[in-house]
Amino acid sequence: MSLLAIENLEARYGQLQAVRGVSLTVSQGEILALVGANGAGKTTLLRTIAGAHRPSAGRIQLDGIDISETRAHRRVRMGIALVPEGRRLFPGLTVEENLIVTSASQRRGTWNVDSVLRTFPMLRTRLKRRARDLSGGEQQATAIGRALMTNPRVLLLDEVSLGLAPIAVDRVYESLHTVIAGGATIVLVEQELDRALGMATRVVCMLEGRIALEGKATDLTREQVTEAYFGLHRAGRRSHEP
C-alpha cells in the first residue's frame, strides 16, 4: 500500500480550476519531484494535500486513511508537513522559537532542535537571531527544520530554491540529502529542473492542472520532461514506463 494516495483530485479558486483530476501515489522513502511551469497547479496540489486548500472533488489517503476532510492541523499530527513557498516564518521570533513553535503538533520521532542543527549546521550560530534578520538560505533552512520538528511521515517542499542565491541553494540541498539519507518521504516542487531530476526517484510533470508526464527519474530524459513541461508532447503518451 502507498503511503500517500491521491485519486481524481480537483481544486478550484472560484471559477478557476487549478488541479484537474490528478491521481498519483507516493511510497515510503520515495522522493517525488513535481515539476511544471508557473500556473501548472503544483503549489495548489501541495496545499490541498496539506489541508490548506479544500478540494472540490477527489480523495486523499494517508496510509489507507481518507484524510480528504481532515483539517490541516490534524494532518500535521498524522504526519504531513508543508514547507510553503516563501517560507512563512514568524519574522519576530528567533530561529529557536520558530523551531519549537510546532511542539504542540509534534509526533514521536528523531527530529528535535539538536537533530535539526546537526542537519542544518548554518543555523547553530543563528538560534537567537530573529527570522527577519536571516539570509534567504538561513530562512529556508529554518522553515524546513520547523517542518521536520513535527516528525513528518510525508514532507512537502514547495519551491526550495526560489529567490535564493546559488550558493545558498547548494547548502540547503546538501542538508536535504542528509534528510533523504535518513529515509524521508518527500514531495518536492522545484523550479530548477536539473536539481529536481538529480534528487528525485520519480518525476511528475504537471501542465494546466493535469499530469502531463510521469515516470522514474532514471527512465526519463531531460528532453522528455522539458517537452511535457511546455506541452510539446501532447500527441504522445502521458506516462513513461520502463
What CATH number did the domain enclosing 160 receive?
A: 3.40.50.300
pLDDT of amino acid 33:
96
Cα 81 to Cα 63, 66, 74, 185, distances in angstroms: 15, 17, 11, 11
**Residue in 168, 149, 151, 152 with CA at minimum distance from that of residue 160:** 168
Q: Is residue 12 part of a domain?
A: yes
**Interval 99-115 mean pLDDT:** 84
pLDDT over 70 (residue 186):
yes
pLDDT of amino acid 108:
83
**Interval 69-84 mean pLDDT:** 94
pLDDT digits over 147-174, tens only?
999 999 999 999 988 888 889 999 999 9
pLDDT of amino acid 1:
67
**Residues of the chain with pLDDT > 70: what percent?**
94
How many structural domains is the chain composed of? 1
**Interval 103-125 mean pLDDT:** 88
pLDDT over 60 (residue 106):
yes
Question: Is residue 191 very low, low, confident or very high in pLDDT (cuts 50, 70, 90)?
Answer: confident
What residues form DSSP beta bridges with 187?
Answer: 32, 156
Q: Is residue 159 part of a domain?
A: yes
pLDDT of amino acid 54:
94
**Interval 214-242 mean pLDDT:** 75
Separation between Cα atoms, residue 148 and residue 158, nearest integer Å: 14
Q: Is residue 237 part of a domain?
A: no
pLDDT over 50 (residue 202):
yes
230 C-beta neighbours (distance < 10 Å), count: 13
pLDDT of amino acid 76:
94
**Residue in 168, 232, 225, 171 with CA at minimum distance from that of residue 34:** 225
Q: Is residue 43 part of a domain?
A: yes
Joined together, the cell numbers standing for residue 83 give 514547507
Joined together, the cell numbers standing for residue 222 give 531531460
Q: Is residue 40 part of a domain?
A: yes
Phi/psi region, residue 184 (left: phi>0; alpha: psi -120 to 50; beta: rest), is: beta
149 C-beta neighbours (distance < 10 Å), count: 24
What residues form DSSP beta bridges with 205?
Answer: 35, 213
Q: Is residue 90 part of a domain?
A: yes
Tell me the Cα Rg of the chain. Answer: 17
Q: Which domain, by its residues, includes 187? A: 4-229
pLDDT over 90 (residue 240):
no
- Grid cell 528535535 — which residue? 112
Using DSSP's 3-state secondary structure scheme, residue 84 falls into coil
pLDDT over 90 (residue 74):
yes
Separation between Cα atoms, residue 119 and residue 234, nearest integer Å: 42
**Interval 188-195 mean pLDDT:** 89
Burial class (CB in 10 A: 0-12, 13-18, 19+), 58: middle
Q: Is residue 79 part of a domain?
A: yes
